Amino acid sequence: MPSFGPYELLERLGVGGMGEIFLARLTRQASFEKLLVIKRILPQFSSDVSFRELFCREARLAALLSHQNIVQIFDFGEVEEQSFIAMEFVEGVDVGRLLAERHRLELSLVLTVLEGAARGLDYAHRKRGPDGAELGLVHRDIAPKNLLVSCEGEVKWIDFGLAHLLDGAAKLQGVAGTIAYMSPEQASGRPPDVRSDIFSFGVTAYEMLTGELPFGRSGEADLLEHVEAVRGQEYALPSELVPGLPAELDALLARALEPEPENRYQSIREMSSALELLARQTPPAGHQALGEWVRALLPRDRVCKGVSPTIVSAEPLAGPVLLDVGEESVGSVTTDLVEVSPATDTNAPLAQDNAPEALEPGELPRRSWLWAMGVLLVVALGAAMWARPWWQEERRSSPQETESAGPAEVQLALASTPPGAAVSLDGSYVGETPLELLVPLGEGALELRKLGYEPYVHQLTAQERERGRFEGNIALVAEATTLTFDVAPETASVFVDGALQRSRKVAIEAGSKQIRVSLEGYLEHEEQLTVAAGEQRTLTVALRPLPAVLRVEATPSQVEVVVRAAGQVVQTCTSPCVLSGLVPGPYVVEGTAAHFVKASVDVALRPGEEALANLECKPIVEPEREKRVLVTAQGGKLTSRDDGERRTYMVEHSSGTLKVTVEGHSPDWKVTAASSPYSRLKLDNKTYEQIVYVPLTPGRHILRPMAGEMGTVVFKLQLP
């Protein structure tokens, strides 16, 4: 088998306009083997230096993503001057294929898919690089074809951030993506952001629920027509197309599909919160049920088979079938030609031009187990869906089989309790109960599956095969329903319909349950929970502590109070005061008042309790003012009187008196002075008709009357 660097190429599964795709195996010491998918860019593009640099930059960013809902990129680089990506191999099918075969999906299944898809998008949108800076990743091509569902019910995005590089028509139209799912700003050529992905996510959800596209199948029209359709907002509400869908779902999708980005959800996390509220009314099916549904729907010889890759058929490829993806894909702007196995519908149109080089007969062996991988990986390059359902394909039988098998068809007349079970014959889905139809007969392995019920399996007997008819009303057996509680604090008590649960994992009957979680000192949690038959549900509850009350008293009675927690101001008040609704924990209470020293006290608040914080603010003790204010007088007798904040000085002269009043404290001093009989006054070389509350700065000041014999009086003042 050919090698490509450290990888062993097992099979080329497809080739497109810009690259080819392989199933590969990485082998290390100690018998370590890992199956991978290799996307190798064609030489004519790898030789373009600017393309190579952009490809490596985008691949480097995408490789930083490691999340269960995103296909992991393990390696990228160049081998012999050909750029490549090594990525995770997923066994399953894309949502576009599911829609092609089922038209639309049940609400519980859609909610399960959207839940996983939203987690992957939210992770990528918020991802930060090693330097802590946001990467600003946007998928750019959110569509069902890029969303995989594995056989185990896992939901994974592919080509995150790389779709625009792998799209061969991106340069032709100036934009990249699938037109029918594009936001109007992306279709107009403006740089997309996370809100553009949200719009495309809304279109994808709408199609999964209704089987229709909200703005029509405009993918084959020009971009302007699509933008006008979106801005016109003339689309049917999901509940109008599918009676029974909740009105809350209409509102959720209407916001996601707003033409203006600022009117949409501003993040996937915000949209996920709305989905969670919806899920409380209609519980999702769960990933286990989703995987069972996929396995029941798809033919066993093509996906979910799990055959070892060492088993190889010697039959060579009969030659490639070329499908023009641009003709077949709804809304795709790609014009790649994709090469697939001849098992694809031979009625698909053959491409005439730009066909890739055909394989020589026997160049690569065909492996029956690779059919599923081929479907998966061709989808990763944007391959078209099968032109007709797989159950309508011809069944090839040998002459010996025809002679001994009895009737080639069987009439099924089936009902089930409850109805709505998926019916498969020989691994091929044929419909849901109740049904009556004529189907091709193979080995006669009949199977019924329904979410929450054990599978019913029946092998048609020789008599039933000979008669060519099988009928019956199958009573399905409900699977065990379990509920697991993840509560914090762990010591909380859990009640189901009033009964205390001794275990954190309990088996219960399906239906509506009243759940109560309680613990002393915490707010009680109650909710009504509906669990389906066979559902494995985990309920996560984090109790919130009861709020605490803080009473603040202070000396003096009225002080300004500031309450802090972890250094941040929580509340303010004027004492005495009572603060309620505080989260239990440590606090610092501070109090301030004029002419008093600031006081603080630490308080620990307990759930549901009231605590007292008593602040004692002590007065500021100042030195005696006589020791700070110095006064002398010449030409008269000096007397003084101290009234606390006011000091009065009298200078008596034989011809009159000078009265001086000093108020305030350093550095804000004020002086008032008057002479009897009246005289103008000179203060520090400035003459005043009267001196009333004249501000003075600390230091030495001289005051004297200007008239008559009083002019001999000199008043000297030293202020601190």
Q: What does 372-435 look like in DSSP terms, one character per residue?
A: HHHHHHHHHTTPPPPSS-GGGSPPP--HHHHHHS--SEEEEEEEEESS--EEEETTEEEEESSE
Pairing relation of β-strands 686-688 and 585-592? unpaired
What does the alpha-carbon distance between residue 163 and residue 527 come to, in Å, rounded to a whole number?
A: 43
What does the alpha-carbon distance between residue 657 and residue 713 come to, in Å, rounded to a whole number?
A: 9
What does the alpha-carbon distance between residue 503 and residue 494 come to, in Å, rounded to a whole number?
A: 9
The pair of three-digit structure tokens given for residue 271, joined into one six-digit string: 């949209």
User: What phi and psi, each to the nearest 5 degrees, are found at residue 499?
Assistant: -100, 130
141 is a catalytic site residue:
yes
Tell me how crowded residue 469 is: count the other CB atoms within 10 A of its CB: 15
What does the alpha-carbon distance between residue 651 and residue 640 come to, in Å, rounded to a whole number?
A: 9
What does the alpha-carbon distance between residue 111 and residue 205 come to, in Å, rounded to a whole number?
A: 9
DSSP 315: P
Residue from 290, 285, 291, 289 nearest 151 by CA: 291
Residue from 4, 187, 96, 58 nearest 378 by CA: 96
The pair of three-digit structure tokens given for residue 564, joined into one six-digit string: 């802090």
| Number of helices followed by number of strands (H, E) in the chain | 17, 42
The partner residues of 651 in beta bridges, in order of sequence, read 638, 658
CA of residue 514 relative to chain centroid, distance: 29
Assign 362 to helix, strand or coil: coil
Tell me the one-letter amino acid at 673: A
The answer for residues whose C-beta is within 8 angstroms of residue 181's C-beta and 6 or more apart is: 141, 142, 143, 200, 203, 204, 331
The size of the chain, in residues, is: 720
What does the alpha-carbon distance between residue 158 and residue 199 come to, in Å, rounded to a whole number?
A: 18
The answer for residues whose C-beta is within 8 angstroms of residue 140's C-beta and 6 or more apart is: 161, 163, 164, 176, 177, 186, 192, 196, 197
585-592 β-sheet, strand order: 568-574, 560-565, 585-592, 599-605
Tell me how crowded residue 433 is: count the other CB atoms within 10 A of its CB: 20
Contact 261, 195 (CB under 8 A): yes
* Residue from 75, 94, 122, 141 carrying the catalytic annotation: 141
3-class secondary structure per residue, 163-184: HHHHCCCHHHHCCCCEHHHCCH
What does the alpha-carbon distance between residue 342 and residue 319 come to, in Å, rounded to a whole number?
A: 7
Q: What angle do CA 87, 69, 132 make, to 5 degrees?
A: 85
Pairing relation of β-strands 321-324 and 337-340? antiparallel
Q: What does 240-256 look like in DSSP terms, one character per residue?
A: HHSTT--HHHHHHHHHH
H or E element, residue 270: helix 268-281
Which positions are annotated as active-site residues? Answer: 141
